[in-house]
Chains A and B, each alone.
Chain A
Amino acid sequence: MKKLSARRRHPLAALVVLLFALAATGGLYAAFAPAEKAQADSSSQSLAIEQGKKLFAVGCSSCHGLNGQGTSDGPSLVGVGSAAVDFQVGTGRMPAQQPGAQVPAKRNIYPQDQIDQLAAYVASLGPGPVTPTKDQYTSSDPNDVAAGGELFRTNCSQCHNFAGKGGALTNGKYAPALDSTSPRHIYEAMQTGPQNMPSFPDSVMPEKQKRQIVAYVRHTAEAPSPGGMDLGSLGPVTEGLFGWIFGLGVLIAVAIWVAAHTTKAKKS
């Protein structure tokens, strides 16, 4: 002890202490840090990542960079998670056709197993939202539709319309209609916040509430409209326009037709 204490003013003492401290911190971290899920070790997973990287290099890297780091043409994909890939590629939004205010949904050209490989590769770049499993977005409770409706009106209807028919935003952007979006993609959109949509992570909207919203959106899309011709479910705007133009138009046409046909014996 005395020896040690005698050398405490040695020029290299600080360095030694620092090395000890670093080693201790690193060791403690290694001992206590939550073990990463050993997904990368399973051979099928690493194979998927490998395949995904190849697909990525062909289809995505021109905008997102060879390692998904992002370029001036596309954002970084580090940390977006597999859910974002499954949504963007699964709905045909990615690969994007052209730059613009908003990338529209179009026909998806990737089979699901290739999307999964791409997702596995992008997920390996950094932790992010994970593609949901079927029981995460499939609701079995019939009460979920009502609860989901309330959540939808609080969180979603401002942009997507109360019946999920979509609506306009600023400068050419828009909230798309949700009629034909699959439950999984609706769930993933809430998780990841694609494009200008804000995200609704589990911390502010638990998984159960997302499932309820999915149940409401699917119910609304599939429920028939008892009155027929819902005119976009936009409410009084389209209904009033229809009433004024077609309703009153027919009445005026009938009145003109009546007045144009004389009943006189001698037609003038």
Chain B
Amino acid sequence: MSQDMSEENLPERHGSEGHEVEPHADPFADPGLPPHEVRRTDIDERAARRAERQVALLFTVSMIATIAFIASYVAFDIDKIVFIWPFGHVSILNFALGITLGVALFCIGAGAVHWARTLMSDVEVADERHPIEASDEVRAKVIADFKQGADESAFGRRKLLRTTLIGSMALVPLSGVVLLRDLGPLPEKKLEHTGWDKATPASPIKLVSMNTDEPLKAEDIQVGSLVFAKPQGLAESAENFQEAIATDAVMLVRIAPQDIKDRASGKLGFDGILAYSKICTHVGCPISLYEQQTHHVLCPCHQSTFDLSDGARVIFGPAGHPLPQLAIKTDTDGNLIATGDFNAPVGPSYWERA
């Protein structure tokens, strides 16, 4: 449609008799409040009384529900299970407590809303805006009071007081700065090491099964099986167990040697037995959703997927590093042992990580 309008399409500027039409009044004039409309309850006393009874009924139901709550707490046995459609088999106590408390609270709210809508005044009240600034007298008085206070304190005259006050105020925040020291000390090399770090070729640490608490032997681990291990000496009753297992946890799998694609990782293992960290390198979730046919391990948190047959390479997901591997061997009794720490820092990446 064209924006150009021919003259005859414009509204007539002149009356039929030739003199000027009254110009429109201010098009943005305040229309004012719409006229107040009454409710039935405002004009019909019977309707008002009915509304009052409804509100009172809701409040009464709430009271009854509260009493029913107390009664069901006393009456029902916590172990009693009943069938209630559509919830299935539920504890009658849980069900009764939930329903009665819900009804009690709902009826208070519903009654209050009904009261406000039907019986409380709904006349519109306009509160005109007013300037924010204070009046001239108030401002003059505040300024005068301030000047008087400044004179009486002699802040401007006694320069020694002023300087030392400013100095003390400037130093106080230093206490806060000093306390920041408590955020440290820096972890230094702590993030690079786990409990396996104490293992050396001279004093190796045995891999102990999380299930049986017994040292694992190489022949215990079959192709396709999965077992979790911890360093020997780490007892579940130990005070730091949770902290230690969060870095020391190991999952052991056995892959047929011809299926191991990454030679280097195969060499760190023993006859196809590979020991990998159980901690995801993305944000440190425990990760052990192992698929024995594909040799993939899936992290349940963000779906990072690692291929244990290929050096735990990341094949999907947000993880940035392969899972750290623990080099294992056997001692003379056939027990699996570690002679050092994981081959990379365990867990998520951090700034100083090499």
A-side residues, CB < 8 A to B, are 151, 154-155, 158-159, 167, 169-170, 173, 175, 193, 195-201, 203-206, 209, 224-229, 258, 263-266
Contact = CB atoms under 8 A, between A and B. Distances in A.
Contact of A151 (B95, B211, B300): B211
14 contacts: A151-B211, A158-B286, A158-B287, A158-B300, A169-B289, A170-B291, A197-B292, A199-B222, A205-B211, A225-B90, A226-B91, A229-B87, A264-B39, A265-B42
A228 B84 CA distance: 9
A200 B289 CA distance: 14
Q: Is the interface of B mostly helix, strand, loop or mixed?
A: mixed
- Which of B41, B90, B305 is packed against the most chain A CB atoms within 10 Å? B90
Contacts of A204: 209, 211-212, 216, 220-221, 225, 227
Given A170-B305, A198-B224, A228 B291 contact: no
Contacts of A173: 291
B16 interface: no
Nearest to A206: B212
A196 B293 contact: yes
B41 to A, nearest CB: 7
B289 A263 contact: no
Given A198-B292, A203-B221, 10 more contacts: A196-B292, A196-B293, A200-B227, A201-B222, A203-B219, A204-B209, A209-B211, A225-B90, A226-B90, A226-B94
Contacts of A155: 211, 226, 228
B90 A198 contact: no
B253 interface: yes
A171 to B, nearest CB: 8
Contacts of B164: none
Nearest 7 A-B pairs (CB), nearest first? A228-B87, A228-B90, A198-B226, A226-B91, A203-B220, A196-B291, A204-B227
B290 interface: yes
Contact of A200 (B87, B117, B225, B300): B225
Contacts of A225: 88-90
B91 A227 contact: yes
A154 B81 contact: no
Contacts of B291: 169-170, 173, 196
A224 B89 contact: yes
B118 interface: yes
A79 to B, nearest CB: 11
A154 B293 contact: no
Contacts of A195: 293
B113 to A, nearest CB: 6
B43 interface: yes
Contacts of A154: 210-211, 228
B294 interface: yes
B261 interface: no
Contacts of A167: 300
Contact of B298 (A169, A200, A201, A226): A169
Interface string B116-135: 01100010000000000000
